[in-house]
Structure 1
Amino acid sequence: MSAEMTDLEKLAEHVAKNAYSPYSTFSVGAAIRTTSGNVYSGCNVENVSSGLTVCAERNAVGAAIAAEGKSMRIEEVFVTNFNAEGATIHCSPCGACRQVMAEFSTPDTKVIYRGDEDNIVTTMGQLLPDGFTL
């Protein structure tokens, strides 16, 4: 990882520590910067009924929409995680989160997440090349 952490990376790491993940013990934090320059975050919140679990990325998007309204657009996303031992592992956003983020992004929106050795830097278009639209 880079020696100097970005503001999104710091925030994602901070909120990952607040995740409610007693079942998987896998904590995720996400931070997004919108095109208006504001930053929002979210962490995963598990539920004993696993289908009701909400991912960090979707919680961050929800916070941004709550603050900026339905015209909110994402400029950049950073996602991090910690396993039960406190280590980060390679983990990209899940398919549901990719689709939700794509709804508020352009194909050029920057998406960064943890890789095996370093952060993976990609775009929404590369991460979800054929997303669902109406």
Structure 2
Amino acid sequence: MEDINVRELIETALNMRRMSYTPYSHWNVGAALLAADGTIYTGCNIENAAFTPTNCAERTAFFKAVSEGVKDFKAIAVAGGPDGQWDDLPFCSPCGVCRQVMSEFCKDDFRIFCAQSVDKYTEYTLPEIIPDRFGPKDLLG
């Protein structure tokens, strides 16, 4: 993929799983978000006993970037799986809320890599992962 080091993104997402705080689900997710300027913003899922305040890895990465003034993105890699499982992961796809956040900030050519490892992943564009999405264009014209 041009201008996207998929391997680096996936490795970063896999490593971010180790930072997850998941005492309830025991499902660790890491994300690596590539901004248009080449900066990688990372995220992990962070749970809360009240559940509603829990935040996904993908949104953590987006919110870190946006809070620093960045709103132009190329791709994200996501990797997730159970506590203690660092190899042979299942595919972990972004939840609906994370897809909606992507829809807010990303263009149609934004790429989503759902990784089991650096060599085994699925790739989607934003329209593939959230077709007929509701976004800024629906409110702003």
- Provide the TM-score with structure 1 as the length reference: 0.88
Measured in 1, the distance between the counterparts of 2:19 and 2:62 equals 17
Gaps of 5+ in 2: 1-5
CA positional deviation for 1:85: 4.1
Asked if the contact 1:83–1:89 (Cα under 8 Å) also holds between the matched residues in 2, the reply is: no
CA positional deviation for 1:67: 2.0
Measured in 2, the distance between the counterparts of 1:104 and 1:79 equals 17
Asked if the contact 1:107–1:126 (Cα under 8 Å) also holds between the matched residues in 2, the reply is: no
Counting aligned pairs with the same residue, the percent is 34
Measured in 2, the distance between the counterparts of 1:119 and 1:11 equals 14
Q: Which residue of 1 aligns with 2:41?
A: 40
Corresponding residue to 1:125 among 119, 127, 137:
127
- How many residues are aligned here? 129
**Which 4+ residue blocks in structure 1 deviate beyond 2 angstroms?**
none
- Provide the TM-score with structure 2 as the length reference: 0.84
- Shift in alpha-carbon separation, 1:118–1:6, aligned structure 2, 3 A: closer
- Alignment RMSD (CA, Å): 2.0
Measured in 2, the distance between the counterparts of 1:127 and 1:79 equals 13
Measured in 2, the distance between the counterparts of 1:118 and 1:7 equals 13
Higher mean C-alpha deviation, range 58-67 or range 82-91 = 82-91
Asked if the contact 2:32–2:76 (Cα under 8 Å) also holds between the matched residues in 1, the reply is: yes
Which string of whole-angstrom CA distances, capped at 9 and with x for unpartnered residues, describes residues 29-72 of structure 1?
00011112111000000000111110000000011112234xx1
